[in-house]
A = this chain, B = another copy of it.
Amino acid sequence: MPKRILRVNMTNLEAKFEDLPGDYAALGGRGMTSTIVSIEVPPTCHPLGIHNKLVFAPGIVTGTKAPTSGRLSVGGKSPLTGGIKEANVGTNFAQMLGRMRIGAMIIEGKHEGDDYFLLKVTNDGAEFIDANKWVGKGLYDTYKALFKEFGDKVGICGVGIAAELLGAMSGVCFNDPEGLPSRYAGRGGLGAVMASKGLKFIIVDETDAPGVEIANQDVFNGGIKKLREALTAHDVTKPQGGLNSFGTAVLVNIINEAQGLPQRNFSRGQDDRCEKISGEVKAEEIKKRGGVRPHFCSPGCIIQCSEVWTKPGGKDPVGVLEYESVWALGANCEIYNLDDIGELNRACNDLGCDTIEAGNTLAVSMEGGLAKFGDGKGALKLMNEIYKKTPTGRMLAQGTEITGKVLGVTRIPTVKGQALPAYDPRAIKGIGVTYATTPMGADHTAGYAIAPEIMGVGGKVDPRDPKKAEVSRNLQLATAALDATGYCLFVAFAILDIPEGLEGIVESLNGVLGANLTVDDVAVIGKQIIDIELDFNKRAGFTAIDDRLPEFFMEEKLPPSDEVFDVTDDELDSVF
C-alpha cells in the first residue's frame, strides 16, 4: 500500500483517501505541511474562513523504530500571525499516522452552523460523529471520556474552549502516554482554525495499519544505531543527562544565570526567586509527590525529557511542566510557585491554550491592570474567564498582542503577532535574530541559537555579540530539515556535537525513502522549506518590516545586564 493523503472536507462532511502525489513522496512533517499550505491555501485568505486548511503530517521516519522520532507537524495559515505556520508536537498520534501510511491529513472547507464534529480515522476510512456533547468542556475530563468511548489504544487530537472562542492562543492538543491532554502543537492559534471548520476531535485507530514502508532496512538500521549511540553519549540527551534528569526546565537556572530569563513581562533578565521554580527543584518535588520523571512524550524516545507533574500526594496529574511554560506562567508573571504554575498549566491544557502565548497574555494583562504581578490566584481567575467565555476571557483567548492592544499596553512582546518565548533577546541576541526573522513569528524552536550562545553546543558564541545572522540562519535551515524528518528537535544537541549522529539521521532517511541523501543535503532541504514559507508570507503581505522586534527591546535596557537589542536591521535582513 502506497502512502496516502486523507482529505477531509468539512463543508459537505466527506473524508476520502487520495494517493500521495509522486512529488510529495520524499516530504514529511514541516516539509509536507508547508508545501501543501503553500500550494492549496491562498495567502491572503481569512485564517478562520473557508479557504484556510489545516494540514497534519507525520515526519518521514515517524512510526518507525527510529529513536525520538514521534513528531507531528500541524500547518495552516495562522490566525495569530497571518502567515504560514507549522506547529510541532511529540505524540503517538503521529506514529499511528505514520504506520497507517497517511502522509498528510488535510482538513478543508468549513461546516456552516454551530455543530461540532469528531472525525474517527481508521486504516480503511473515516467517519464523522456528532461532537456537540463535548462543547464547552475541559479537555482533561473529555480525553478520559474519549478513551473510554473509543478504547485505550487510540490517539486523540482535539481543541478546547479557547478554540471554540476562535482564540488565537488556542493550540491543537494531543494525548500523552498517560492519556493526558498535555502534548500541544501549541503555537499560532491552529486550534482556532480547526474549530472554525466545525472539527472538535480527531480519533485515530491504527488497527491493521501496515507500518511505515522502509525501502532499505539495513541502511535504516545502521542509521538509527548511529543516532542512538550519539543520543546516549551526549551530556544533554543521554540517560541521566540534563534533559532526562530535570526536563526542559533545567534551563531555568541556566538562563537566569545568563541574565536572559525574562521577569515581569520582559522587565528584568534575572531574579533570585527563579531557583524556586527550577528544573532541579521541580524534579525533586515530582519524586516527593509520586509523579513520574523521566517520561516520554511518545514511545521510542531515548531522551525522555517529559514528566507528569501532580498535586501533592500524586493527585490530579497535569502532565509535563516545560521550561517555556514554567517561565511564561511563572517568572514572566513574577509567580515563583510551582503549585500555582502547575494549576495555570492545567488550565492551559484543559482549555486548549498554548502556554507560551497564555503566559505572555497574563503578563501583559497584569501590566494592563487586570491582576497583580505575582498573584497566582489572580492569574487563575483570569484563566477562568476563558472557561466562562466572558468578554475578558474572549480577549485573553486571542493572545498577547490583542490583549495588550485592548489594555493600551505599549510593551507587547510579540513578533508577527506571536508572543516571545523564554529568552530575552537583549541578553541573548542570536535567539532574538531567530524571533525576528523566522517565518513563524517569535519562535525559539525555529533556530535555537541558545545552543551555541549559552550551552556551548555546536560551537560557542558570545550571547551579547549582535552579529548573529549566520548563526541563526544555519540553525533555521537545519531545524526546518529536522522538522521534516520526524525527529525531535532535541536530537540536535547530540548531532551538532557528534557528526556520526547526523550521519545516522541521514542514513535513516535514506533507509526509509530509498534515497541517497548526504549530510550536505540537510541545509538544502531546510532552505527549500523555508523558501516556501517565506514566499507564502510575502504573498500574504509580509515585508522586512515584519522581521523586527518591538520598539521597547531596542530602547529599554534589560537589568542587570543593561543590554538592549542592538542587532542592526541590515543584520536581520541578511538572514534570508
Contact = CB atoms under 8 A, between A and B. Distances in A.
B410 A48 contact: yes
A550 interface: yes
Q: What is the interface residue range for chain A against chain B?
A: 35 or more
B391 A49 contact: no
A408 B48 contact: yes
A562 to B, nearest CB: 19
Nearest to A166: B408
A394 interface: yes
B410 A46 contact: yes
Interface in A203-235: none
A40 interface: no
A550 B48 CA distance: 12
Contacts of A407: 391, 394
A46 B551 contact: yes
Interface string A537-568: 00111011110101110010000000000000
**Looking at chain A's contact residues, is the secondary structure mostly helix, strand, loop, or mixed?**
loop
Interface in A175-193: 192
B541 A165 contact: no
Contact of A408 (B394, B406, B541): B394
Contacts of A167: 408
A267 interface: no
Contact of A406 (B50, B406, B539, B544): B406
A130 to B, nearest CB: 22
A45 B543 contact: no
Interface in A353-391: 368, 370, 391
B541 A44 contact: no
Given A392-B392, A402-B402, A410 B540 contact: no
B394 A398 contact: no
A512 interface: no
A405 interface: yes
Interface string A37-51: 000000011101111
A36 interface: no
A398 B45 CA distance: 24
Contacts of A489: none
A261 interface: no
A521 B570 CA distance: 40
Contact of A44 (B44, B368, B548): B548
A285 to B, nearest CB: 35
Contacts of A406: 391, 394-395, 398, 402, 406
The number of times this chain is found in the oligomer is 2
A410 B49 contact: yes
Nearest to A195: B408
A167 B407 CA distance: 9
Nearest to A167: B408
Interface in A507-547: 539-541, 543-546
A164 B20 CA distance: 57
A371 to B, nearest CB: 11
A44 B408 contact: no
A464 B181 CA distance: 53
Contact of A551 (B49, B368, B391, B539): B49
A521 B7 CA distance: 59
A508 to B, nearest CB: 41
Interface in A27-60: 44-46, 48-51
Contacts of A370: 391
A188 to B, nearest CB: 15
Given A391-B370, A391-B392, A394-B406, A545 B550 contact: no
A545 B408 contact: no
Contacts of A541: 543-546
A546 B408 CA distance: 24
Contacts of A398: 405-406
8 contacts: A44-B545, A46-B410, A46-B551, A48-B410, A196-B410, A368-B394, A391-B395, A394-B408
Interface of A: 44-46, 48-51, 165-168, 192, 196, 368, 370, 391-392, 394-395, 398, 402, 405-408, 410, 539-541, 543-546, 548, 550-552, 555
Give me the 7 closest cross-chain CB pairs, A-B, nearest first. A541-B545, A166-B408, A391-B392, A46-B551, A395-B406, A541-B543, A48-B410
Given A391-B406, A392-B392, A543-B543, 12 more contacts: A46-B552, A50-B555, A51-B551, A168-B405, A368-B394, A391-B391, A391-B407, A394-B406, A395-B406, A402-B402, A402-B405, A406-B406
